[in-house]
Structure 1
Amino acid sequence: MITDKTVPVVGHYGFDAIDSAIRIRAWAPNWGIRQFQQIGGPSVTAYREARHFANQELTMTIQREKDTNYPNLHLVPH
């Protein structure tokens, strides 16, 4: 618990807010609960998969553009 308090902060239920925050931060990972994630929104995994797919599609588009417009690009010295 925090003992160096200059201003007591009382939370919604009448408990010390700082102590409550410390307890919640310890409790949530113990039970595998993600804090501050949107409720009802897509999961992080779905977001990452969509981003990966978009990046993959962009990479394929760039490669197609290179192959079409610059077929001899691989012959140019670096």
Structure 2
Amino acid sequence: MNPDELKALLTSMEVTAEVVEAIDVPALQSLRGWDLRGWNYVLVPWGVRFTHSAFAEEIDVRIEVFPEHRGNSGEREA
């Protein structure tokens, strides 16, 4: 999988976690139809960084948390 294909795959933290797991367990790659050979990851304070042995590019997946905005009554706004 090239960097552009991996970027397109990383649409949520759930998928990102599945990719991390599949890098560690190659049998999962074949179940999902992914070729992650050469890809590595590093858990960093703000998310995950993916690197590949054949590509200079790094792919960062950041975790961002947004507080819920509540109305004056303390209930969620629609």
Query: TM-score by structure 1 length?
Result: 0.24
Query: TM-score by structure 2 length?
Result: 0.24
Larger RCO, structure (CA 8 Å, separation 6 or more): 2
Kindly indicate which of the two structures has a greater share of residues assigned to strand.
2
